[in-house]
């Protein structure tokens, strides 16, 4: 085995060892451990939370001027940009994501720091029209210690999406990254410290969800938990957080529908399906996994979509190869989950694969990568064997979290909407049509927190990102709502009536039966 590098936790502005067992970090393209990471024990968690609380109470960050916090966030963006080459290389290694994806995604992260820096500089504090000679103004104050639990699929993106509003608000943050991909989040530590984030304000505690994660979210000093993950994990964490009456934001599962209407440009729609379905090897919560197509154009769409997926498959190779179109799944477990759902659908006689459908073997035609060593699964298209039989399969309803899509037809707009909403999830959805009236009409009826029209997976710091159904989570990321969710509201009411007026109106227990105020 090649020599592995060991990464430490990031606590109190420096690298520190953890007392729990080391976590092996695997390269999913070759199925080998290339690094190991220190993990937090019970005592590590307790010490870090107490440190974060003391730092918060000190006011060094929580009570610093908002313009200072804005300047520091801007500096974070500058230093993050300078560190991009090293971050991208490591992100590719630990996730298996194609480098062409990471070259596009990781540089975009600076927008979150810049957005929340700008928000701090322009945020207005309301003055309310309270009756009487009263000046009633509102302020937002940070919550305290907050915990963020991030997933394996977008380690840096989701960490920064959560970090930027939390830091902008003045909180002390503890991040527990996925045990599968903890490394790039740890590299944020020195970057943020150099930018001016005080020691103890940003901490990273790697560990497993059932141990480190549970210890973090159940601690009574934690005032908010923000998690991205699966629905079952989100429900379990929510139950714990609720017991402490702490704030909770959860971005959970998805099974995004993508509707292609007759008036869509077919080539644009096919390109959109391929991107929405197979980016990150399908390991995204908003992946377009249920493709719903007007029967009038269904044969044409399937023909062009098959050609597109075949082209993607031909160009799969090593993730660090700039020519590679798609990488492996994150782990053997994740590969097994996707395989099992496909096998159930096909062996049950309710679906057939137009392309893909089984684990990749052999070697890459572009660079000789041995697919059998990694967790490679090809882009897969499943259709019904008879009628709409695929609607009776588990994969119609369950997240495969892999590059697998199911395609069904419809005859009427009402049918399309019904199929789109036939899910417990409601995170993302896509509509493809050149009919603007239809786009408005249908988007209003789709049960999804985010609906894209003639595009997919657009993500901007200003645009809310959250589910419309409980299985897809509670609350939202991005925008001013995310910033507000990391604050508590303070209402201050100042009486500016004269002493004489106050003596006349506010002496509740004076002699006599004169009128008194209430409220």
Which is the catalytic residue, given 26, 251, 339, 399? 251
If phi > 0 it is left, if psi is from -120 to 50 it is alpha, else beta; for residue 96 that is left
444 is catalytic: no
Q: 167 CB contacts (<8 Å, ≥6 apart)?
A: 61, 69, 72, 73, 116, 173, 197, 201, 202
**Main-chain phi, psi angles of 340, to 5 degrees:** -60, -40
Which is the catalytic residue, given 75, 161, 162, 308? 162
**Main-chain phi, psi angles of 175, to 5 degrees:** -105, 130
Report angle CA 266, 268, 274 to the nearest 5 degrees: 100
Q: What letter would DSSP give residue 470? A: G
Asked whether the beta carbons of 398 and 232 are under 8 A apart, the reply is no
CB neighbours (10 Å) of residue 391?
16
Q: What is the 3-state secondary structure (H, E, C) of 263-296?
A: CCCHHHHHHHHHHHHHHHHHCCCCCEEEEEEECC
Tokens of 78: 């500058």
Q: 144 CB contacts (<8 Å, ≥6 apart)?
A: 53, 56, 62, 171, 172, 221, 222, 223
- Residue that has been written with the tokens 């004169």 in this structure: 514
Which is the catalytic residue, given 26, 101, 176, 285? 285
477 is catalytic: yes
285 is catalytic: yes
Angle formed by the axes of helices 155-169 and 66-82, to 10°?
160
Asked whether the beta carbons of 184 and 154 are under 8 A apart, the reply is no
Element of type H or E holding 432: strand 428-432
What's the residue count for the chain? 519
Among 143, 169, 148, smallest CA distance to 221 is for 143
Among 209, 174, 205, 167, smallest CA distance to 80 is for 167
**Alpha-carbon span 150 to 156, nearest angstrom:** 9
**367, 368, 373, 378: CA torsion to nearest 10:** 70
Which is the catalytic residue, given 101, 179, 399, 477? 477
Q: Got the DSSP string for 47-61?
A: HHHHHHHHHHHHTTT
Q: Cα 292 from chain centroid?
A: 25
Asked whether the beta carbons of 78 and 124 are under 8 A apart, the reply is no
CA distances from 189 to 13, 86, 227 (A): 7, 14, 20
Residues assigned a catalytic role: 162, 251, 285, 477
């Amino acid at each position: 085995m090649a020599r592995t590098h060991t990464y430490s936790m990031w606590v109190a502005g420096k690298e520190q060892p953890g007392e729990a067992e080391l976590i092996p970090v695997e390269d999913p393209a070759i199925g080998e451990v290339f690094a190991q990471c220190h993990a937090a024990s019970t005592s590590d968690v307790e010490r870090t939370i107490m440190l974060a609380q003391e730092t918060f109470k000190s006011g060094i960050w929580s009570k610093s001027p908002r313009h200072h916090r804005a300047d520091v966030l801007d500096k974070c963006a500058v230093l993050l940009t300078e560190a991009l080459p090293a971050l991208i290389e490591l992100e590719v290694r630990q996730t298996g994501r194609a480098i062409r994806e990471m070259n596009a995604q990781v540089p975009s992260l600076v927008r979150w720091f810049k957005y929340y820096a700008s928000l701090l500089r322009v945020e207005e504090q309301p003055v309310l029209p309270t009756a009487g000679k009263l000046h009633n103004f509102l302020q937002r104050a940070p919550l305290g210690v907050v915990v963020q639990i991030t997933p394996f699929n977008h380690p840096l993106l989701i960490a920064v999406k959560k970090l930027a509003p939390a830091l902008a608000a003045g909180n002390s943050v503890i991040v527990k990254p996925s045990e599968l991909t903890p490394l790039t989040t740890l590299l944020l530590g020195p970057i943020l410290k150099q930018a001016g984030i005080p020691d103890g304000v940003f901490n990273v505690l790697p560990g497993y969800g059932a141990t480190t994660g549970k210890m973090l979210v159940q601690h009574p000093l934690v005032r908010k938990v923000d998690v991205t993950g699966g629905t079952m994990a989100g429900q379990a964490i929510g139950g714990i957080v609720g017991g402490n009456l702490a704030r909770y934001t959860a971005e959970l599962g998805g099974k995004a529908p993508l509707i292609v209407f007759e008036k869509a440009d077919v080539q644009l729609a096919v390109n959109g399906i391929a991107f929405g379905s197979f980016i990150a090897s399908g390991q995204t919560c908003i992946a377009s996994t249920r493709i719903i197509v007007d029967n009038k154009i269904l044969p044409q769409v399937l023909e062009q979509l098959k050609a597109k997926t075949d082209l993607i498959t031909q160009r799969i190779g090593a993730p660090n190869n700039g020519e590679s179109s798609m990488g492996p799944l994150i782990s053997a477990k994740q590969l097994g989950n996707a395989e099992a759902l496909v096998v159930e659908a096909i062996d049950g006689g309710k679906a057939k694969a137009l392309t893909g459908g089984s684990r990749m073997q052999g070697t890459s035609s572009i660079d000789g990568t041995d697919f059998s060593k990694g967790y490679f699964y090809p882009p897969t298209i499943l259709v019904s064997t008879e009628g709409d039989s695929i609607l009776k399969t588990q994969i119609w309803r369950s997240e495969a979290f892999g590059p697998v899509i199911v395609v069904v037809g419809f005859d009427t707009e009402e049918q399309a909407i019904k199929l789109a909403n036939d899910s417990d999830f409601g995170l993302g959805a896509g509509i493809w049509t050149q009919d603007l009236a239809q786009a408005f009409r249908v988007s209003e009826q789709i049960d999804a927190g985010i609906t894209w029209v003639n595009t997919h997976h657009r993500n901007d710091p200003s645009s809310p990102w959250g589910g419309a159904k409980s299985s897809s989570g509670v609350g939202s990321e991005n925008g001013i709502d995310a910033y507000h969710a990391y604050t508590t509201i303070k209402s201050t009411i100042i009486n500016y009536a004269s002493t004489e007026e106050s003596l006349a109106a506010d002496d509740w227990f004076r002699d006599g039966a004169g009128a008194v105020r209430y409220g």
